[in-house]
Amino acid sequence: MNALLIMLCVFVVSIVIGYLLISRVPPLLHTPLMSMTNAISAVTILGALLIFAVTTSATDKLLGVVAIALAAFNVVGGFVITERMLKLFKNK
């Protein structure tokens, strides 16, 4: 239980710090930032998949499923937005 509480605290603090940092990024840097968040989400997916490789509790597996779903949503959304941005620069 203590380890879960520590992980939840780290999660909440990372959300707050991430929001504060990303909200101050100028619009010109959003594309490189999106590439980095896609890479981080891919690492999150790999880490969550590792949870299923070992014997864990149902709570850990549920958190793994949530992590995979949210990270996959971020990766797919990043690719969709990148594709839309690339279409802006194509010749008509």
For the chain, the straight-line distance linking the first and the last C-alpha, in angstroms and rounded, comes to 58
Per-residue pLDDT band for 79 (boundaries 50, 70, 90) equals: confident
14 against 35, higher pLDDT: 14
Cα separation, 84 vs 86, whole angstroms? 5
Under the banding of pLDDT at 50, 70 and 90, the label for residue 50 is: confident
- Determine the Cα–Cα distance for residues 28 and 3; give it in Å rounded to an integer: 39
Residue 16 pLDDT > 80: yes
